[in-house]
Structures are given as structure tokens and as C-alpha cells.
A and B are shown apart, each in its own frame.
Chain A
């Protein structure tokens, strides 16, 4: 079956611009997660959704970052006034539900480059 998909795979933008990154989770998965991975580091948690609501957004670095999941399926991560330090690979994952034993399935990521 289809896995987690993310679009675009690559995004190059200029400092100060607005970007949207999209995640399509595995069908039927109620939990959805966003992570950011910088070169040479592990994924860093940003936010997770259980259904339509953000259950934990404690990892969002500042108010330029926002994520939505209006229908409990597709999610969009939105970054306003991008900065060079936002350059990273943004990973999305989904799982059947949130829970300490549930496997998270990861998408291929979106590589964001801010010039």
C-alpha cells in the first residue's frame, strides 16, 4: 500500500518568503507527526496531531511555524518569513494512533533551502 508522501521533495526559497510543506499520511492513521532534521543530526520533534487537533506543539521553534490538519488526514506545515536557519529536511510521519509502542512510518522528507 501507499506510504507517507510529502510534497514537494525539494523547495528552494528566498529569505523572508512564505512556504508550505504538505504531508499525506497512510490512510487510516489518526496520528501525524512533523520533525525537522539538520545535517548530521537526528530528527527533532516539532508537532503532532491526534485527529484534527494538535496534541503537542511544544517543538515548534517560534511563531513563524504553524501546522494544520483540518480534516484529520493531510497536514500542512507553514513557515512564515523564512530564515536561512530554517534550512533542513522536514520529515512527516504517521501512526495508527499515538502511543508509546506504536510504530511511526516516515515519509521521504522535504528538503527546504532558504537562500
Chain B
């Protein structure tokens, strides 16, 4: 079955540091890929997505590129802020079952001033 594996956390960085959160996936078909973010006390919200190979999703300074050859969708940000502290989830939706999202276990990011 489908699966998503995320870099284990927690991750602690200083403000303005570079962020990478690794995400790799296993899928039988050709999935769409997503990063969701959950800020403290809030619900899950979509951060960015990519629907085909080599697409780059971007939002709020975060980027991720759909790499089919390495089955990866790593999240990056050049300079993190304290307000980026949250839990980040990588997810996929298969093209063969468009209603079902498969999520990774989440990576907790803490950014210190």
C-alpha cells in the first residue's frame, strides 16, 4: 500500500537558519504530493502541493519539488522565523483513489529567537 516517511523530529533551529524536512513516499500509481502545517492550537492547513513530476510547490517562503526518480518531496525554507514553529505533515493522494490521503507522522519544528 501507499506510505509516506518523514524525517523524524523534533527539529530545533535558530531564527534565520535553513530548514529541510525530508519526505519520501511509496505509491502504486502517480500521486499528488502535499505539505500540511499545524500551528499550535489550530487545525491542519495546506501549505503547498505539487501534482506532477518536477513541479515545485511554494508558499510563505517554503518550497518543495516533486522528484519522481527519488520518490521524494522535501520541504525547504531559506530562513525560518519563530512563527514557523509548528508540526509539518507530508501527504499524498493517489491518482487511482482520489479521495484518500496518506499522511506521514509529522515533524515538529521549533524555531528559537
Chain A residues engaging chain B, CB cutoff 8 angstroms:
4, 31, 33, 35, 40-45, 48, 50, 55-56, 58-59, 91, 93, 98-109
Residues of B within 8 A of A (CB): 4, 31-32, 36, 42-46, 49, 51, 89, 91, 93-95, 97-106
Q: A42-B105, A43-B101, A56-B97 are in contact. Are A100 and B31 (CB under 8 A)?
A: yes
> How near does chain B come to A108, taking the closest CB pair, in angstroms?
5
Is the beta-carbon distance between B103 and A44 smaller than 8 angstroms? yes
Task: Give 8 A-B pairs besides A42-B105, A101-B51 with Cβ atoms closer than 8 angstroms.
Answer: A35-B101, A42-B106, A56-B100, A59-B100, A102-B98, A103-B49, A106-B36, A106-B44
From B4, B32, B103, name the one whose CB has the most chain A CB atoms within 10 angstroms. B103
Which chain B residues border A33 with CB–CB below 8 Å? 99, 101
Contact of A45 among B36, B44, B101 (CB under 8 A): B101
Contact between chains at A31 and B105 (CB < 8 Å): no
B44, A99: Cβ atoms under 8 Å? no
